[in-house]
Structure 1
Amino acid sequence: MDKRELKRLEKTLFAMLSRQPDAFGIVLDEGGWVFIKELHPALMKEAGFSHITPRGLTQFFSLYRPEKFEWQENHVRVKPELQSSDLTIYKEATPPELLFVSIRPKAHAHVIVRGLYPGSNKNWIVLSTEKGMALKIGRRRDRDPVIAEVMALKSSKAGVVFRRAGKVLFLVEGLDPQWMDIPPLPPVREKDKHRKLKSGEAGPVGKKTPKGIAPRLEQIGAFVLHDTPSHIVSSGLDKRKKNKKSRDRDPEWKKGRRNRKKYAKKQNAHMISKIWYLYYMCNRLFPLCILTLTFILLSSPISAMMSIEEEQEMRDKLLRMVESQVPLIKDPEIVGYVSGVGQKVLDQVNGKFFDYEFFVIQDEGLNAFAMPGGLVFVHTGLLEVIDTENELLCVLAHEIGHVQGRHIARRMERMQRINIATAAMAIAGLFLGQGQVGSAIFATSGALNASIALKYSRTDEEEADRRAYQWICKAGYDPRGLLTVLKKMRKYRWLGTSAIPNYLSTHPVDSVRTTYLEDLWNREQCVQKFPEDLFRLRKIQVKAKVLTHDPMVMMKYYKQELNITPDDIFLLYGLALSFLAAREYDKALKTYDNLVSSTPERPEFEVDQGRACFTAGRYQKAISIIGPYSKRHPGDSTAKFFLARAYLEQGKPAEALPILKILKQSWPDPPSIYLQLGRCFAALEKQGDAHYYFYRHYKAIGNQQSAQYHKDKAMKLLPANSELYKDLKCDKNQENPLNKIED
């Protein structure tokens, strides 16, 4: 939500909880509190707020922290100094002649017999002077509530105490059925007459019901109540008892029952003998079965899995699909951190099939997945909840285990008549779900069926876990991080968008999996050898949080948190990032100045300060900050990248070009490097080289038309003996997989 919508929501909630709560059908407790689960249904009925979920309302109070409210876990109130004390003082009052109350349909029969009393977590029954308000309150729990009339004035004279809660609501501690005019029970449907009753549910004539609960009948008055409601007279029940007694006295019926029992015993004995015979034959013939199976396997060729080259071809198609469907984080610091952790695992892998690449998806879900060809994806939601680098390394090791085990390729081997394009669409559908381009992914039934068949099995999960366990130990980390991450994924499985399946839907997790991981630890314990850089992880988490949330909300959140803990440098860093995301550049630069001056022992913040200057268009200041830092820290590729870009914007392509050439091999976002190299060569009037790198840029982002244009231009302008020309001549344009969909 933008700032205007947040203000409108705050204004509406303030009116609901401070001015006229009864006009919205809300009753506050003595302290002015109301539960979120009671406030949310009332808010949804207001115009413009039907899209807000209970979780969204909770996040509004927990993150936005509106100044007029106090929030505690699952309930909220307006601050006492802003609320009238009369709103929570419910004085005794004489009610009008009639009041209205809503009854849940499943409690209809119970109320007819016992009356209406509050539940275990409520103190009052809420009544209304208007039938429409009673219906509005009732529809928050049931679609079709039952509305009963209460003879309020008459019952008040008989001693029932009513309390006024605003203009249209009254409260009462309980009502006997004699003071209510309750509509009759609806007729029983034919299919419900023979349905098995649940505990406490009323039923038709002839059905046994718990004591004190009236049966559900065709009409009111078809049963007789004695002194206590527990005695329910039913002619059908007496008739059934009478039939049972006469049947037990019939000798023919008893003889038939004995014969049926003898036949059942004979059949059971015959079945047991068959089972023992099969068990005996299996033991005798087991060696022969093994020899026969071995002969078949050795004499017939095994169908080969998808080749490495085919999987590499599929990798490029999959990457285009992912980039077209989900937002990827391009921030070099975040992507570089994930890639660095993943590289620690890859250093322990022998015989890697592919060149692995790591990507970060902007999504709140706790998810990570790997695609064929070495593509590994991590969601920002997972980055935000992990506590250590060890947990991230364990997740990446597991996903690399799936790729090295070639589990998708194995499953494709069992599927007949499926080509590379259909397989790519099936895999994308499995991991990405049906987002904005979901209709294109599942355009064919072949892709849909293939997606269902490609899900990981429990055997795949165990193999990936065992591979990951060995790599984690070799890297000097703690493999118990696999268990801690699984517990978090179970706890927060509801997070994320509905367009992308969560981790548990593609990776089966059960007690067996956690058990064998614990057994592995008991057999092969390994201790973490290297200290973790928690500062860098915390910095990455703050940046990911700001990038994936509304900057206006984050500004409000960090300001309020800084009032409580002003010395927290990460809160100050988050505030600076929020200002920058909201394009309030002066405030962002001022906050960065405070951050850098207060943390001289952390030069990493200087790079962020220089990036902020670059974003604000102050390129000379960015060069003056990042230039000296880059000389002191030559290994920081992020600083070099933005230094080169600042040089380029200042009209100094000659200074930017050597830096970009160095970064070309290691930068985590190749399209951005190709674009800046193309701009450099264009500024240096080397048109052939410029078109070459523009071609590389557009090809990497999937724009085939622009890529072909720049390729043709480059081949005309480049010398025929140059390396770039030879590279273009050998290179083949790859089609966008969404353009060709085959069954």
Structure 2
Amino acid sequence: MMMPIDADSISMKPFANGRRSRQLAAWFTALCVLLSASATAQMSHLPELGDPSATILSPQEDYRLGQAFMRNLRQNVDIIEDPELNAYINSLGYRLLAAAGTDLPFHFFIVDAPSINAFAGPGGHIGIHSGLILAAQSEGELAAVMAHEIAHVTQRHLARAFQKASASQLQTAAAIIAAILLGSPQLSSAMIATAAAGSIQQQLNFTRAHEQEADRVGIDILVNSGFDPYHMPAFFGRLQEAYRYMESNLPELLRTHPVTPSRIADSQNRAGQYPDITQRQSDSFPFIQARLRAMADQEHRYRLKELEARLSQSDTLSAAEQYEYALFQLQLGNLEQADTFSRTLLQKTPESEQFIALRAHVELEQGEHEAALQRLQKALKLFPLHPQLTVLYARALIQADRPKQAADTLRELIQKPQQFVLPSYYQLLAKAESAADRQSNAYMALADYYQMIGQLRTAIEQLENALSHTAADNSFQTERIKAQLTLLKRQALAQQETQAQQ
């Protein structure tokens, strides 16, 4: 049976996947220490060719591990699926990558967790906790942490850690990877923490060496990206000072990336070696923070009360605060107030893609799909395939009973070069294809969705449904589905066999 998809819930409810982040905190702690980075790079700081670390984790193995890592991660933690937030974090990430001089594939994503943390997993997957973004006082501080994580990857710290580890440590690391990648019920977070404790202590000096190297390379990346190098020691120093008397409540970033006074001093000295630079900070950062706060489920409702109190006292809100307030009202279904604020913001800054998206979203919620369509068509000429605008445009097309055009638009977004595809794109594509009475395509889109979130058996079921709905004379579609089925069945069998060995 075709699964019903509520396209209207996709854009504004990216956090609705459950709340299991806190249950896996110990897993992430172990992962970030023993899996502090991954994969090959093309920088002058790399180990020499022939380094034995290059033979322990090949680029192909790293890629496969990274894909499995992301599938499992989506099953066990809340990853924010909002197109605008993902576009921002990847845009900032690729700005840093351009300065790093690497052409490796990277993927930056936001974990919906209040903790102040970031991590570099296998395959160039770099996760940033939403709590870290909200704790940063500027885009430069966020960029400093991301540059640090990029440096972990380009310096091959994962492979080098494996090369240095003893056989017993490798067993511990393998157990932790299996637990995280496979979601093994036999390995609880407490067992992982206990098993990892000894090896973490044994690797402490090596880990600190990694951190210092990542600081130094990260500062180079930061400067070459046009950011003030002092953002890195300033952010880590501020966190250390704030939590210096709270050993049991340290933020995850300080636990998984040990900060010492000598390390901060070293990064300050390195920052001082660069001449003053004119920073190239984006104007988007306060709006990104506002969007994160407004889209949280309950944690930031105090913020809404604060904004309402200021409005009642006739205080002037900044543009970012007005944007945040409008998003709160939109989320709560108070369309009249959302309408007023979205109009005001757009009148002041008519070419802001964020304000255009906000206004179009309000119009869609009000049932004014034709007004939204006209607004979005015009905007997409200025910002071709902008993720948030394109998703809203596809939703408007579905509302206007033009599902085929919506499906074509979404496929164009999905196939855009260097565009990281969100699972929610495939959900919306399935809805459009179903509305267009192209059921085989709809099932295939759902198969892609379930494959991305790690539900391989459900993905297989969707492909079998697609095969049964494919016309007998469409041999190309039939063979394509069969090939994908074969691949997924192999992956599911390998996953089942590995789980049985745990």
TM range (shorter): 0.7 to 0.9
Decide whether the 8 Å contact of 1:477 with 1:527 is kept in 2.
no
Tell me the C-alpha RMSD between the 2 structures: 3.6
2:402 pairs, out of 652, 662, 672, with 652
Structure 1: distance between partners of 2:466 and 2:433: 12
Structure with more helix by fraction? 2
Structure 2: distance between partners of 1:556 and 1:460: 43
Structure-to-structure mapping, 1:335-484, within 5 angstroms? 335-352=86-103, 354-413=104-163, 414-416=165-167, 418=171, 422-425=175-178, 440-441=188-189, 448=196, 452=200, 457-484=207-234
The residue that corresponds to 1:555 in the other structure is 304
2:88 counterpart SS class: helix
2:451 pairs, out of 676, 693, 699, with 699
The residue that corresponds to 1:740 in the other structure is 499
The residue that corresponds to 1:539 in the other structure is 287
Q: 1:501 to 1:312 in 2, by over 3 A?
A: farther
Decide whether the 8 Å contact of 1:422 with 1:742 is kept in 2.
no
Structure 1: distance between partners of 2:66 and 2:439: 32
Decide whether the 8 Å contact of 2:72 with 2:180 is kept in 1.
no
Structure 1: distance between partners of 2:396 and 2:250: 37
1:412 to partner: Cα distance:
3.0
1:721 counterpart SS class: helix
1:636 to partner: Cα distance:
2.7
For 1:316, give the aligned amino acid: Q
Instruction: Give me the TM-score of the superposition, normalised by structure 1.
Output: 0.53
Q: Report whether the alignment pairs 1:573 with 2:329.
A: no
The residue that corresponds to 2:360 in the other structure is 610
1:319 pairs, out of 67, 70, 86, with 70
Structure 2: distance between partners of 1:335 and 1:495: 35
Structure 2: distance between partners of 1:386 and 1:420: 31
Q: 1:599 to 1:436 in 2, by over 3 A?
A: farther
Deviations 1:665-696 (A, max 9, x none): 34544312222222333333333322222111
The residue that corresponds to 2:11 in the other structure is none
Structure-to-structure mapping, 1:719-734, within 5 angstroms? 719-722=474-477, 724-725=480-481, 728=484, 731-733=487-489, 734=491
Q: 1:730 to 1:526 in 2, by over 3 A?
A: farther
Structure 2: distance between partners of 1:543 and 1:741: 42
For 2:177, give the aligned amino acid: A
1:347 counterpart SS class: helix
Decide whether the 8 Å contact of 2:114 with 2:130 is kept in 1.
yes
Structure 2: distance between partners of 1:315 and 1:401: 17
1:582 pairs, out of 326, 332, 340, with 332
Deviations 1:93-130 (A, max 9, x none): xxxxxxxxxxxxxxxxxxxxxxxxxxxxxxxxxxxxxx
Decide whether the 8 Å contact of 1:554 with 1:578 is kept in 2.
no
Unmatched 5+ residue regions in structure 1?
1-300, 430-434
Decide whether the 8 Å contact of 1:348 with 1:474 is kept in 2.
yes
1:663 to partner: Cα distance:
0.7
Deviates more, 1:677-686 or 1:340-349: 677-686
For 2:425, give the aligned amino acid: I
Matched residue count: 434
Decide whether the 8 Å contact of 1:317 with 1:424 is kept in 2.
no
Deviates more, 1:327-336 or 1:720-729: 720-729
Decide whether the 8 Å contact of 1:370 with 1:377 is kept in 2.
yes
Decide whether the 8 Å contact of 2:424 with 2:449 is kept in 1.
yes
Structure-to-structure mapping, 1:153-164, within 5 angstroms? none
Unmatched 5+ residue regions in structure 2?
1-51
Deviates more, 1:632-641 or 1:477-486: 632-641
For 1:687, give the aligned amino acid: Q
Q: 1:602 to 1:688 in 2, by over 3 A?
A: closer
Decide whether the 8 Å contact of 1:476 with 1:527 is kept in 2.
no
Structure 2: distance between partners of 1:586 and 1:560: 18
Structure-to-structure mapping, 1:703-718, within 5 angstroms? 703-716=455-468, 717=470
For 1:337, give the aligned amino acid: Y
Structure 1: distance between partners of 2:72 and 2:203: 17
Structure label with greater radius of gyration: 1
Structure with more strand by fraction? 1
The residue that corresponds to 2:81 in the other structure is 330
Structure 1: distance between partners of 2:128 and 2:53: 36
1:546 to partner: Cα distance:
1.6
1:537 to partner: Cα distance:
0.9
For 1:560, give the aligned amino acid: A
Structure-to-structure mapping, 1:107-506, within 5 angstroms? 304-352=55-103, 354-413=104-163, 414-416=165-167, 418=171, 422-425=175-178, 440-441=188-189, 448=196, 452=200, 457-493=207-243, 502-506=252-256
Q: 1:325 to 1:489 in 2, by over 3 A?
A: farther
Q: 1:533 to 1:681 in 2, by over 3 A?
A: same
Decide whether the 8 Å contact of 2:294 with 2:324 is kept in 1.
yes
Q: 1:462 to 1:421 in 2, by over 3 A?
A: closer
1:628 to partner: Cα distance:
2.4
For 2:75, give the aligned amino acid: S
Decide whether the 8 Å contact of 1:607 with 1:639 is kept in 2.
yes
1:652 to partner: Cα distance:
0.5
1:578 to partner: Cα distance:
1.2
